[in-house]
Structure 1
Amino acid sequence: MTTVPTSGARPTLLDVARTAGVSPATASRVLNGFHQVRPETRRQVENAMAELGYARRRSTRGTEPDRTGSIAFIVCEGGARVFSDPFFARVLWGASRELAPVGMQLVLLMVHSPQDYQSAAARYLRHGNVDGALLVSMHGRYPIDLDGVSVPVMFCGCPIGSNADDLCYVDADNRGGAERAVRYLVESGRRVIATIAGPGDMAVGVDRLAGYRAALLDAGRFDSRLIVHGDFGQSSGDHAVRLLLNRRPDVDAIFCASDLMAAGALRALRRHGRRVPEDVAVVGFDDSPIARQTEPQLTTVRQPIEEMGSLMVRELLALIQAPAPHRRRAVLDTQLVIRESA
């Protein structure tokens, strides 16, 4: 079935790939003259280009724009967090497997503090070092100043701030996933349901907390004293449980905004003599490898992390080939995975 761009928009590489029934990576290989493409596949892509009236972007001089063959993967976190949290490795894996077939490389840039994020990332992008950028783990209401940045940028997650409507992103349904998890705890008979929320300056933290709040407001059980914030790491989950038990010793369920915080929570509950799930049910978020290594194994919300990385690259490659007049966005579904902890 032919996919026609809506609203008279200029067709993109992604449109060509969809019409030809191939991946954007394959369409890009055809477009860039790679020989490792089957003849019938090449014909499919060329026919789709002709059908859609697709034309490669040209510079003002009428030649192809200079390309570096590189994509930046910019993370606003220190090295300790990046290399200890499996989320980043999984996004990187998803992104790199899309870039490898088109012969492009991924350049990792870590910015160690939110205060440096805007200036360092924007300065790097303005210097023409890469053809585009993936921005991950943004903090603050204005994650980056894109004035003067001529390359396309794709965000991992919907950014916070008034300029979010002008940005392109791939996200997971964080609010819906959190709400589903907390409703499950309510329906399981849990009465005092706390949360270890993520950072309040990150959209993912805000959205998962919003889902928790919505579920408990519907059940008539919301209590702001049952909210403790962490930083998505294990130690913050451990510390948060100590605070929660001091406030409400009768807590019988904890929704954690990440699996790492849930692992820390399990460790703290065991130290305080609380059985999981008999005394306290625990639910995480991510379905990272640690969810199957904890004791007991963790009930969690699965988000398609590798798929997010892959889709970010596919959308970014489409923007590199042909800038779209509309913003490209996608929100992927999440799924509650029931295991032993709740």
Structure 2
Amino acid sequence: MTEQPTLAQVAAAAGVSPATASRVLTGSVRVSTSTRRQVYDAVSRMGYVRQRAPRGTAAKTMADGVTAVICDHLPRLFSEPYYARLLSAAGAVITEHGTHLMVTTVTPTSSTLPALSGAVLIVGARERHPLAIKLSTSGVPVRNIGRPPHDLKLPYADVDNLDGGRQAAEHFLLTGRRNVAAIGGPPSLPAARDRLEGLVRTLQAAGAPDVPVAYGDFTAASGTHAMQWLLRHAPGLDAVFVASDLMAAGAIQALRRAGRKVPADVAVIGFDDAPVARHTVPALTTVRQPVEELATVATRLLLTGAAGIDPVLPTELVVRESA
């Protein structure tokens, strides 16, 4: 049997000290983006497991497969690029392990829950979602994609949404934008709240005016409607942070219809670095989240029965033409 890698070996592969690697994995202190990426890359590459699950859990997972539960409406499964990227990467890892992937959806507020066996990846669970609450106490092997809602005790893997909002705010400030507005995602979704909080907190610390906020549901249409609302209620805005690239594309369309030039009149920053970001006019400045890496790390930790590791992967501002 192949020996499991040790923390010291992971640290050596990442080029950091064992103490630094341990701090990254426990999230006890802030470390640089590059250091976190090096450690998580080493964890993923080497299959490091900080704590094994009870004997037999991994074998049961292999036999019964993995179910990805998307907490969203069924049509969104096929129209939202994020889900395609996430499921493709997770499926590749699951295939490597010789088992199979099943996909199901439950609506964001559904109390009708699917029957689940094997291991479960939860995607997009919002606060007080019955499925997340049930799985948190079920003993079923589970890993949440994103910080769990409502402080539930679920193992998870996430991206640093808070820091993504911070990076967007700092870019606006450095480029002379002061009247910043925001289009947030659903407030009940932890990732959406974190993105907005990172932006607002940074702007407040710099003494910028209060941030007017409209909300959407991550669709282009909702971005258009939210931008129209902001133009009516905050006509002096000179920048807008949008919590997804699809919503940002809709916001740019609304700005164009209103006669506002991007970025001359209004700078726009999105979030995701989805394929649409390179095809908007102008090309979208956005916060890149490593979707494929997130899915890969989360799935490997789920399949190996890891506990005690809740990785948070770094985000990165990608500057294009819109801001």
Give the TM-score category using the shorter length: 0.7 to 0.9
For 1:207, the equivalent position in structure 2 comes to: 194
Task: Map 1:121-160 onto structure 2 (within 5 A).
Answer: 121=114, 124-125=115-116, 129=117, 131-142=118-129, 143-146=132-135, 149-160=138-149
Q: 1:237 aligns with which of 211, 223, 243?
A: 223
Residue 161 of structure 1: SS of its match in structure 2? Answer: helix
Match of 2:314 in 1: 333
- 1:189 and 1:241 map into 2 onto residues whose CA distance is 21
**Aligned partners of 1:139, 1:216: CA distance in 2, in Å?**
26
CA distance in 2 between partners of 1:91 and 1:155 (Å): 13
CA distance in 2 between counterparts of 1:332 and 1:148 reads 26
Deviation at 1:65, TM superposition (A): 5.1
In 1, distance between residues paired with 2:151 and 2:321?
A: 41
1:232-311 aligned at under 5 Å gives the runs: 232-311=218-297
Range with bigger deviation, 139-148 or 97-106: 139-148
Equivalence map 1:18-57=2 (5 Å): 23-24=46-47, 57=55
Map 1:54-69 onto structure 2 (within 5 A). 57-58=55-56, 68-69=63-64
Look up the match of 2:77. 82
Instruction: Name the CA distance, whole Å, in 2 between partners of 1:314 and 1:273.
Output: 48
String of CA shifts for 1:8-47, please: whole Å, max 9, x gaps.
Answer: xxxxxxxxxx79x9654xx9xxxxxxxxxxxxxxxxxxxx
The alpha-carbon deviation at position 100 of structure 1 amounts to 1.2
The aligned residue for residue 6 of structure 2 is 3
**Following the alignment from structure 2 to structure 1, what is the Cα–Cα distance between the partners of residues 136 and 93?**
28
1:277-309 alpha-carbon deviations (Å, 9 max, x no partner): 011000000000000011100000000000111
Q: Match for 1:162 among 141, 145, 151?
A: 151
* 1:120 to 2:113 alignment: yes
- Contact 1:292–1:298 (8 Å) recurs in 2: yes
Deviation readout 1:79-105 (Å, 9 max, x if unpaired): 222211100011111101111122211
Structure 1 residues 148, 258: closer, same or farther in 2, change over 3 A? closer
Find the aligned partners of 1:67 and 1:277 in 2 and give their Cα distance.
Answer: 51
- d(CA) in 2 for partners of 1:147, 1:302: 30
What is the Cα deviation at residue 270 of structure 1? Answer: 0.5
Per the alignment, in what secondary structure is the counterpart of residue 110 of structure 1? strand
One-letter amino acid matched to 1:120: L
| Structure 2 stretches lacking a partner, 5+ long | 9-17, 19-41
Residues 247, 107 of structure 1: alpha-carbon distance in 2 compared, 3 angstrom cutoff? same
Larger radius of gyration: 1
- Cα RMSD over matched residues? 2.8
Equivalent residues of 2:224, 2:250 under 8 A apart: yes
Q: Is the CA contact 2:5–2:46 (under 8 Å) kept in the aligned structure 1?
A: no
1:135 aligns to what SS in structure 2?
strand
SS of equivalent to 2:121: strand
Percent identity of equivalent pairs: 40
Q: Which amino acid aligns with 1:150?
A: G
In the TM superposition, what is the alpha-carbon distance from 1:115 to its structure 2 partner?
2.9
Aligned length, in residue pairs: 285
Distance 1:243 1:180, change over 3 A: same
CA 1:113 to 1:4, structure 2 compared with 1: closer, same or farther past 3 Å?
Answer: closer
Q: Which runs of 5+ in 1 are unaligned?
A: 7-17, 28-48
Whole-Å Cα distance in 2 between the matches of residues 58 and 107 of structure 1?
Answer: 21
Task: Tell me which of 314, 332, 335 is aligned to 2:300.
Answer: 314
Instruction: Quote how far apart the aligned CAs of 1:112 are.
Output: 2.3
Deviations 1:99-157 (A, max 9, x none): 112221110011124233xx504xx23xxx3x201000111145331266232100000
Question: For the residues of structure 2 that align with 1:2 and 1:308, how far apart are their CA atoms?
Answer: 21
